[in-house]
Amino acid sequence: MSLTVVATRPIDGQKAGTSGLRKKVAVFQQAQYLENFVQSIFNALTDYQGQTLVVGGDGRYYNDTAIQTILAMAAANGFGRVLVGQNGILSTPAASAVIRHHKAFGGIILSASHNMGGVDGDFGIKYNINNGGPAPEKITDAIYACTQVIESYKILSDSPAVDLSQLGSTQLGEMTVEVIDSVAIYADLMASLFDFEQIRALFASGFRMRFDAMHAVTGPYAKTILEQQLNAPEGTVLNATPLPDFGGGHPDPNLTYAHELVDILYGEDAPDFGAASDGDGDRNMILGRGFFVTPSDSLAVLAANAQLVPAYQQGLAGIARSMPTSAAADRVAAKLGIPSFETPTGWKFFGNLLDAGQVTLCGEESFGTGSNHVREKDGLWAVLFWLNVLAARRQSVADILQQHWAEFGRNFYTRHDYEGVDSAAAKQLMDGLKGQFASLTGQSFGNRTVQLCDDFSYTDPVDGSVSQGQGVRILFADGARLVFRLSGTGTEGATLRLYIEAFSTDSAQQQQDAQTALADLIQLADQVAGIQRWTGRAEPSVIT
Ligand code: G1P
Ligand code: ZN
């Protein structure tokens, strides 16, 4: 084994998006592509000599290969110890928990989240800092700057592949590699937050649920926690073995891609509760019997019921939601008399607020919910939170939502995605909207009047940093909203996301289906943005 310095030069396309660098597997397989990015991460950091790094991923294709490269490079760059999940497996929230538990310097997470896996699918890499959360923009910018000027990388050559299937320590040059149980630290953390005794009693009473791990990383976590620790019957967890190609499916827990679970919950003899998580375990979808809970509503319901959960019994410091997420959680915060925050899309914007103790719960409409227990969104945590609430209230999911709307009003909500559209056309659509801010403001459409239009800008209340151009908002006086933004995580062409929201306190109207209740706004969105004209699409690719 010898330390080798390999000459290289910058490679195009190493700009990371909302959640790290995500590309087709074939892109990562190009010579020196992964190595350049990993070295750029290390070059952007200081004072890590002898420190601990956490490494793991969602088990998708190329996970193992990438981990061996990262280990050989971490050793050559002077890390003292690397903690790797067994078989290379760490869900994103578990990686965050491990970083925090071991007070590690940081972590490298290998995942393309909910994007498809397999040899023709996507791969991704992201760096998390010592609070367990995604690196803030100043670090991701520095990493990108390093990729633009890189001249060499360091690697231990001829080092044997570390056996990731065996728990325990081995030496790689001067560095120790410790293969750790992928689930244990995370499972202990969950047991410290929720009333496991009460949830066991719920299952013992005959309560039935299905959790769909979608052949992705949460399988082992859900099996251990739900079936072994909480005594849910065997078979509660579906598709529990992580596969490199996620069984050919799209590991995204929404009404379109988690249809197997949706069919069960809407079918005959449906169980009481259904949930799913995504490729890397940070997203969640919540279903009742024949009932879908929007992620925006889920955040609001969890906040309103937090006093039922041991970890949050003392009250919440505040609630944060991403800008496109519905305002349902704001209404709960107002009633609880605690602050609410509206941040740009992407979990990294919650980090400062959580670290500063200004918020306890946070969430995004994109099936992401979390709290101050880690610095990532956490799929299984949200499911356990719901189970804790259901165990305490002993009501159906539908009844809990009905009561919530009766108390706080209902924020009707839907998101329409136009995937893989022409990037130039998508940009023109957005520019066209930005050109209409002045003319739209004050204009009335039916009984709605536009109160404000802007391109959302956020000033971080903790460090004062400003993030501009975070999405076009058209806000109406009655609480309705249209939001348009381009995805930062798609890998083919552009993805246009349209978010539509309306508020209702009328109990009869609240029973409508969301697409019906929002039909006029959906039409109006096309009218002002020219979606069909620019994208050539009559229908969105995905409706959630
Ligand atoms: C999407 C979601 C966003 C989430 C991110 C990572 O990003 O919309 O809320 O934080 O994935 O899971 P987007 O593709 O919209 O940039
Ligand atoms: Zn994810």
What are the residue ranges of CATH 3.30.310.50 in the chain?
410-543
> What average pLDDT does the chain have?
96
Share of the chain above pLDDT 90, in %: 93
Pairing mode of beta strands 175-180, 168-172: antiparallel
Query: Residue whose CA is closest, atom 8 of ligand 1?
Result: 366
Does the pTM surpass 0.85? The reply is: yes
What are the residue ranges of CATH 3.40.120.10 in the chain?
2-180, 186-408
Query: Residue whose CA is closest, atom 1 of ligand 1?
Result: 489
Which ligand sits nearest to residue 498's alpha carbon?
1
Angle at 98 between CA 92 and CA 103, to 5 degrees: 130
Query: Does position 19 have pLDDT exceeding 80, yes or no?
Result: no
The Å distance, Cα 488 to ligand 1 centre, comes to 7
Residue range 363-383: mean pLDDT, rounded: 97
Q: Cα–Cα distance between 205 and 472 in angstroms, integer? A: 48
Q: What is the pLDDT of residue 272?
A: 98
The Å distance, Cα 487 to ligand 1 centre, comes to 7
Please give the class, per CATH, of domain 410-543: alpha beta
The Å distance, Cα 147 to ligand 2 centre, comes to 25
Residue range 65-93: mean pLDDT, rounded: 98
| The CATH number of domain 186-408, selected from 1.10.150.20, 1.20.1050.10, 1.10.3720.10, 3.40.120.10 | 3.40.120.10
Dump pLDDT digits (tens) for 487-538. Answer: 987 767 899 999 999 999 999 999 999 999 999 999 999 999 999 999 999 9
The Å distance, Cα 246 to ligand 2 centre, comes to 13
Q: What is the pLDDT of residue 182?
A: 98
Active site residue 113: yes
Query: What are the Cα distances from residue 544, in Å, to 149, 181, 366, 415, 538?
Result: 41, 35, 9, 5, 17
Mutate to test the pocket of ligand 1, among 487, 499, 544 (most ligand atoms within 8 A of CB): 487
Q: Which residues have any ligand 1 atom within 6 Å of their CB?
A: 18-19, 113, 322, 345-347, 364, 366, 368, 487-490, 497
Dump pLDDT digits (tens) for 409-451. Answer: 999 999 999 999 999 999 999 999 999 999 999 999 999 999 9
Angle at 252 between CA 246 and CA 254, to 5 degrees: 140
* Residue 362 near residue 371, CB atoms below 8 Å: yes
Residue range 87-109: mean pLDDT, rounded: 98
Q: What is the pLDDT of residue 176?
A: 98
Closest atom, ligand 1, to C-alpha of 495: 14
Question: DSSP string of 78-124?
Answer: T-SEEEEEEEEE--HHHHHHHHHHTT-SEEEEE--TTS--STTSEEE
Phi, psi angle pair for 342, to nearest 5°:
-115, 115
Q: What is the pLDDT of residue 97?
A: 98
Q: What is the pLDDT of residue 18?
A: 67
Q: Does domain 2-180 have CATH number 3.90.1150.10?
A: no
Which residue in this structure is represented by tokens 């689930």? 183
Q: What is the pLDDT of residue 244?
A: 97
Query: Which H or E run contains 257?
Result: none
The Å distance, Cα 123 to ligand 2 centre, comes to 12
Closest atom, ligand 1, to C-alpha of 365: 9
Q: What is the pLDDT of residue 491?
A: 67
Closest atom, ligand 1, to C-alpha of 346: 10
Q: Cα–Cα distance between 393 and 364 in angstroms, integer? A: 25
Closest atom, ligand 1, to C-alpha of 282: 12
Which ligand sits nearest to residue 18's alpha carbon?
1
Q: Cα–Cα distance between 539 and 425 in angstroms, integer? A: 16
End-to-end Cα distance, the chain: 52
Dump pLDDT digits (tens) for 191-237. Answer: 999 999 999 999 999 999 999 999 999 999 999 999 999 999 999 99
Query: Residue whose CA is closest, atom 10 of ligand 1?
Result: 346
Residue range 125-148: mean pLDDT, rounded: 94
Q: Cα–Cα distance between 524 and 474 in angstroms, integer? A: 11
Q: Cα–Cα distance between 302 and 299 in angstroms, integer? A: 5
Query: Residue whose CA is closest, atom 2 of ligand 1?
Result: 366
* Residue 389 near residue 489, CB atoms below 8 Å: no
* Residue 132 near residue 376, CB atoms below 8 Å: yes
> Partners of 44 in the beta sheet?
none
Query: Does position 371 have pLDDT exceeding 90, yes or no?
Result: yes
From 19, 91, 111, 113, active-site residue: 113
